[in-house]
Amino acid sequence: MLFARAFRVMTDRFHARLAERDLEPLRPAHGYAFRFLAEGPGRTAVELAAHLGVTKQAATKTVAELVDWGYVRRTAHPTDGRAQVLELTGKGRSYLRFADGLWAELEAEFAAVAGAGRHAALREALEAYLEGSEGGIRPVW
């Protein structure tokens, strides 16, 4: 439970820092969508829905918001006339770099509390634990 609580505190702090900026009302689902789309080209709304564990309609709504805000672009799928390929725009990739910077700040704050040695040991242990695990960051609704 300590990991879950720590992740929740860091996530709340992350979103508080987002709220300090003049950004669109991004929610955690948007962040998971950003990460999924950044993992590889050619992703569709159906694949995003499966990744998020939501309906296609819910994923389509999330995509529509991200398109409206300029973070994601839709293009015709090369082989499926019914599907569209989703990709991050330059603004979307910039946002992802910005978000990674915020997460790095939060990790640095944790390191300042834990101490450099304990932080390094925990980081090494977590990387060893996650080595070979499948998938990226997925929501747990």
> Average pLDDT, stretch 11-21?
91
pLDDT of residue 135: 62
Beta carbons within 8 Å of 86's beta carbon, 6+ residues apart: 37, 43, 44, 45, 48, 63, 72, 73, 74
Confidence class for position 136, pLDDT limits 50, 70, 90 = low
For residue 52, how many C-alpha atoms fall within 13 Å in the half-sphere facing its CB? 27
Reported as a single tens digit per residue, the pLDDT across 18-64 is 889 988 888 888 999 999 999 888 899 999 999 999 999 999 999 99
Reported as a single tens digit per residue, the pLDDT across 57-99 is 999 999 999 999 999 999 999 998 888 999 999 999 999 999 9
**Alpha-carbon gap, residue 34 to 88, rounded angstroms:** 7
What pairs with residue 73 in β-bridges? 87
Q: DSSP character for 43?
A: B
All structural domains of the chain, each given as residue ranges with its CATH number in brackets, are: 2-130 (1.10.10.10)
Reported as a single tens digit per residue, the pLDDT across 114-127 is 999 999 999 999 99
